[in-house]
Structure formats: C-alpha cells, structure tokens
Amino acid sequence: MTQAFRELVQIGITLTSEQDLGTLLERILTEARRFTRAEAGTLFLREGDQLRFSVVQNDKLARELGQEEMRRRLQSDPLSLRELSLAGHVALTGDILNLHDTYMIPPDRPYSFDPRVDTRLNYRTQSILVVPLQDPANNILGVLELINALDRGRVVPFDSQYEGLVRSLASQAAVALRNARLEDLSFKDALTDVYNRRYFTIRMEEEFKRHCRFGEPLSLALMDLDHFKEVNDRFGHRAGDQALRDVAQILVKHSRSFSIVTRYGGDEFAIILVNTAKAGGLTYAERIRAVVEQNAFPHGPVTVSLGIASLPEDATTVDDLIVAADQALYDAKRLGRNRVAVQ
C-alpha cells in the first residue's frame, strides 16, 4: 500500500497542474482506472438534479467497436437524481458503493442497477466501485464509476483496501475540477460560452511555438456576421445576442474537437485550426459559411464572411498571421459578403 500512496500523491500533483477542463476529466478517469485495474469507467458531472455523462471509457468495447463508436453508444441522456441508479445514490449520499456483482443487488436496497446498456452492447457489468467527487466543503461535483476490476484478464471484485485511496483520489480530483472550472470560466465569453479573446491570445502563442518546433501547419479563420448592425437595429439587441449564441453553437458543432473556437470581439469570431493546412482551412470555412446560410434563425436569415490565413505560407509571426486573416476577411466583405477569401 506504500507504493499506492506514492502513486496517489503523484496523481494528485498531475491533476492539480492540469488546467484544461476536458483533458482533466479524461485524466481523472484514466488514472482512477489504472490505479484500480478497472476495465471500464464513467465520470459523471453533477448539474442541478441531474448527472451528465462527461467521460466514458471501456477497453473491451473500444477494441470491438473503436473509440469513437464506443463513446457514442455509451454516452446517453443525463441521469435524474430521483432515479434509483448507483451513481445517483452516491451523488445524493456521498457514500461509496463497492459491489461484487451488480446483478445480485438485493431488492430492498435504495439503489438498483439498470442492465439495459449491458444488454444492448452484449457487455456484463459485474464488479463496480462508485465514488463521489467531493471537495473539502463536502460539495459533490460528480461521480466516478469504475467497472470490472481485472486480475490476469479475469473480472474480480474491487479490493476494499483501495476504497479509502480511491476516495482520496476522487477528493483531489474534485479540487482540481473546481479549480479548472474557475479557470475555464475566466477564459469563456459570457454571452456565447465559447472561449474569449484572452484565451485566443494564449493559445495562438502556444500553437505558434508548436508550429515552429514540429513544423505542423496552422491556419486561422476570422469570421463575422454580415450586416449584424441591421439585426440589432431592426429586431433589437436581444435578437442580436441570440444570433451570436446560435452562430457560436454552429461553430462548436461543426469544428473538430481540437479546433479552438473563440469570440474575438463584437460579432467577430476567430477559429484556430490546429494542424490544418490552407486547403483544409478553406474547406472548413466554406462548410461553416454554408451551414450558417442554411440555418433557420428566429429573426430571419444570417450569413457570414470568413478570411483564412495559414502558416507557413502567409506569415512568420503570430501578429502577421492575424493581420493576414483580417485582410482576407476584409476582402470577403469587400467582394460582396457571404463568402470566403484567402490571403
């Protein structure tokens, strides 16, 4: 157990140094599974009276289906805390559940296991360890669910000696999660919930350094809404705000997970296209332009103009890349709007 304590300390250091919320959530579950030799796991985040599936991992199903399909099939609608689920019980009580066989839960318990996902995926959830993500103020931020402890390839119960250690790990994870959420809020635009200009500046510098070190291409898309002032003037600022929120959601939905969508200011958005050459940036911009044009907005049609610039073709510094993308955006507006221009 001494070695386990050492590992726990190291994991805690790793978690508290991670500021990106998405990466942190994946890492919490990965480390907890490694620590307990769990074949699978789920990390739920508490949102009001619901638990939202935030991260799902399952080695067996990933081998059979592939990572993306595994995630798609396992992530489902949020769990209501009013249901008698294992995770819901832990979220409400702060208890740890360590069950040897989920299919043998006595009917008089205040929780139950729903086998429908197992049936649908031809999987068997046998042993399970469910732990609250509880911070020092006793706030439960989420639930960590570890599934099927393995010993030489065979499913075994989770060792009860690890319950205290896993609770400690979950407590450290809760603190790291709380801090990352605060950091995440400081980098988010309050209106659209995409990243703000401060975050854009930081990430542009980071991605430029990556480009210089590894030679990976980097593209920048600048986009703004056409005739946005007319929307505000004709329909009011509430309609304008809603249009900005809707466009931001379109950008997030139609961008790759490692693309960085930011609100650059006013009605202008900046999208950092990591490891994307100019041709890829042009394809992306044209797709966004078409999706926005075809979207049904509450107050009427909306179109956007985009400018694309790339490293290494168009610039040698971050500032020059931004200037080049801005010039391309200006050209798109000058040429009639609702179009894409490249530097």
How does strand 340-342 pair with strand 304-311? parallel
Dihedral (Cα; 105, 106, 110, 114), 10-degree rounding: 40
Question: 7: which DSSP letter?
Answer: H
Distance CA 91, CA 51 (A): 8
267 is catalytic: yes
Burial of 340 (0-12, 13-18, 19+ CB in 10 A): buried
What is the DSSP code string of 93-142?
H---EEES-GGG--TTSS----THHHHHHT----SEEEEEEE-TT--EEE
What is the DSSP code string of 11-68?
HHHHHHT---HHHHHHHHHHHHHHHHTEEEEEEEEEETTEEEEEEEEEHHHHHHH-HH
Nearest to residue 278, comparing CAs of 325, 320, 318? 325
Distance CA 273, CA 287 (A): 14
Nearest to residue 276, comparing CAs of 254, 304, 306, 309? 309
Instruction: Compute the half-sphere exposure of residue 152: CA atoms within 13 Å on the CB side of its CA.
Output: 0
| Contact call for residues 196 and 269 (beta carbons, < 8 A) | no
Instruction: Select which of 135, 224, 267, 314 is catalytic.
Output: 267
Question: 195: which DSSP letter?
Answer: B
| Contact call for residues 157 and 146 (beta carbons, < 8 A) | no
Residues designated catalytic:
267
